[in-house]
A and B are shown apart, each in its own frame.
Chain A
Amino acid sequence: MLAFALRRIVQLLVTAIISSFLLFVVTEFSPGTVSRQILGPYALPNQVALLDQKLGLSQPLPQRYLNWLSILAGLKANPLGDPALGLDLSDSRGDRYFGNFGYSLMFKQPVRDVLREPLENSALLGAVAMVLIVPLSLFVGILAGANAGTRLDRVLSFGCLIVTSIPEYAAGVILLTIFVSYFNWLPGTSPLLATEEWSIASQLVLPVAVLTLATVGYVARIVRASMADTMTKPYVRTALLKGLTKRQIVTRHVIRNGMIPPMTVLLLQLNWLIGGVVVCESIFAYPGVGRLLLQAGLFGDLALVQTITLLSLAIAAVTQLLADISYVALNPRVRLT
């Protein structure tokens, strides 16, 4: 098991390096260069070129990627932090440290400082949503799948299909209309600042609901399909022919086998959830990292975009690893060599 995990980790590292390079290529390819952004639209071309020179931006792409990696690893100082440039960018951690993601030009602060609070907020949102999504989708999926073909199954499946088809922002609009405009039970925005009228918890309800709705239907359908498929397996019939009750059959023979395929999907939903978080935070003005990514993208704040994307890649990689490991743990047929 350990060897298997190690091999997967090495694979992940390789993937991480390649994808971070691709990310670097795509983002650095963008028309508004860093120097142009710093100097503003009225700067002369030779001024831009001079700053490019100073920042090492005129070097070839692979070299720049290496520079970027070295800064990230704390081997090199970030040229933007050089006081001689007069950009007024400084980092309380010093200019060389591991995990130096550079400066956000939008906030004129080190990326790490910009990210800290939004990250916590988004993690809270994602965690609460995940806590709801997993049991809910498992419950609905197993219930529908174990009763495949019955009316209960059809109702649940259809419900899931409809819920899956509603885009997050549309779900947000519908929920806002109902709970804010019509009933006035909940706040319309969630800035996570407690007011007299709305507690922090009440501000979380709608964002979490939107995220949950967007994901539960999809996951439940996958669980259902796998369960329904498992129900038709000969070994389930063996259990029936032994005289076991339906409950015994489902809990002992169906759930474990039926959970093997959706396990991967379930964990990979985190990936999907990250996308949902961006939309969700935008709807509710939630001060999270998703909204920050969007702002940074629109502003052209490269360091911030790169960092957030890298983070999401890292989350994706870790969940992938967890999915693989849980797949192996659930399935004795996978031999580990």
Chain B
Amino acid sequence: MMHVRDPRKSTVSANRRLWRHFWPKAVSARFGISLILFWIVLALLAPWISPYPPNAQDMAALADLGPSAAHWLGTDLLGRDILSRILWGARTTLVVVPVATASAFGVGTAIGLASGYFGGLVDRAISGLSDIILSFPTLVLYIVLIASIGPSLINIVIAITLASAPSIGRIVRGLTLELRSQGYVAAAEMRGESTLFTLFFEILPNARGPLLADLSMRAGLAVVTVGTLGFLGLGLPPPDPDWGSMVAENVTMIPVYPYMALFPGLAMCSLVIGFSMLADGLEEEQ
């Protein structure tokens, strides 16, 4: 028995299908997405839910820095509320990371598509340059770049783009090479479709699955990078909180006050784990 769907019903269930389309099936992906959404919600609500302004110093708390009823996660040495700073820090991370990831993916996808589809000289030039950039250890590249162009939001985005676009390009190139040999791409060429149409309507949609998984993984890596740069003092200038610099400011206090560095560190871990699990789940769904 063939099951034929009544076309009138499809509009009613369109919303549900859209939901199902975006809501991943793998358990790990669902857990990952929940973690990410959790932080996004907290970041969005930070101005309303954070108990104190991020840079406000509570002199009364200096007597006892540890977690208390007034400061759930304690305060740092300057009496600033750790919880509030983590919430505000989430905002920094969740602004820089999507922008940097999107930028890296835009560039990476473009060079990957070009290199895989056209092959020949274009491919060799792009691949050669990519190989050179990839031969720099990533963090060394960041230090060199940031040290020379200075730390700022836009420069961090540029550095992340430069460092990760080549490897995204490699993946896209591989997928493109594989997909361009498919019959439907040949059929598009045989009916005279333009190159851009072929790339964006015939090839790219079919690379969506692996690319989404990679996107999620890259976003996780960008979280790590932003945090690490902050930790190394190459991130955004103080005093605005970001998780990496919060760890850096308080790392020497660990023997005495471990929570000062531990809580922002854990916040960072949970967000990265969210992205990793989402990536893992998406990969599994392939």
A and B touch in the complex (CB under 8 A): yes
Residues of A in contact with B (beta carbons under 8 Å apart): 15, 18-19, 22-23, 26-27, 29-31, 158, 161-162, 164-170, 172-174, 176-177, 180-182, 188, 271-272, 274-276, 278-279, 282-283, 293-294, 297-298, 300, 305, 308-309, 312-313, 316-317, 320
Q: How far is the CA of A174 from the CA of B224 in the complex (A)?
A: 15
Partner of A298, one of B139, B149, B233: B233
Residue among B131, B147, B231, B265 with the most chain A CB within 10 A?
B147
Tell me if A181 and B254 are in contact (CB < 8 A).
Answer: yes
Tell me if A274 and B137 are in contact (CB < 8 A).
Answer: yes
Q: DSSP majority for the A interface? A: helix
Q: What are 19 of the A-B contact pairs (CB < 8 Å)? A: A19-B135, A26-B144, A161-B273, A162-B273, A165-B272, A166-B269, A166-B272, A167-B224, A173-B258, A177-B261, A181-B255, A181-B256, A188-B254, A272-B137, A272-B138, A282-B232, A294-B233, A305-B147, A316-B137
Q: DSSP majority for the B interface? A: helix
- 3 shortest interchain CB distances as A-B pairs: A275-B139, A297-B147, A30-B148
Known: A161-B277, A169-B265. A316 touches B135 (CB 8 A): yes
Residues of B in contact with A (beta carbons under 8 Å apart): 28, 131-132, 135-140, 143-150, 220, 224, 227-228, 231-234, 244, 247-248, 251, 254-256, 258, 261-262, 265-266, 268-269, 272-273, 275-277, 280
Tell me if A316 and B136 are in contact (CB < 8 A).
Answer: yes
Q: How far is the CA of A55 from the CA of B59 in the complex (A)?
A: 53
Known: A165-B276, A169-B227, A170-B227. A297 touches B146 (CB 8 A): yes
Residue of A nearest to B270 (CB): A165
Q: How far is the CA of A173 from the CA of B249 in the complex (A)?
A: 12
Tell me if A167 and B272 are in contact (CB < 8 A).
Answer: yes
**Chain A residues positioned under 8 Å from B131 (CB to CB):** 15
Q: How far is the CA of A23 from the CA of B143 in the complex (A)?
A: 12
Partner of B132, one of A22, A30, A272, A279: A22
Known: A161-B276, A298-B147. A312 touches B136 (CB 8 A): yes
Tell me if B144 and A27 are in contact (CB < 8 A).
Answer: yes
Tell me if B143 and A297 are in contact (CB < 8 A).
Answer: yes
**Chain B residues positioned under 8 Å from A182 (CB to CB):** 258
**Chain A residues positioned under 8 Å from B224 (CB to CB):** 167
**Chain B residues positioned under 8 Å from A305 (CB to CB):** 143-144, 147
Tell me if B135 and A317 are in contact (CB < 8 A).
Answer: yes
Tell me if B227 and A167 are in contact (CB < 8 A).
Answer: yes
Residue of A nearest to B261 (CB): A173
Tell me if B135 and A320 are in contact (CB < 8 A).
Answer: yes
Q: How far is the CA of A293 from the CA of B275 in the complex (A)?
A: 30
- Contacts beyond the supplied A162-B276, A173-B265: 8 A-B pairs with Cβ under 8 Å: A31-B150, A161-B273, A168-B228, A176-B261, A188-B254, A282-B231, A298-B147, A300-B147
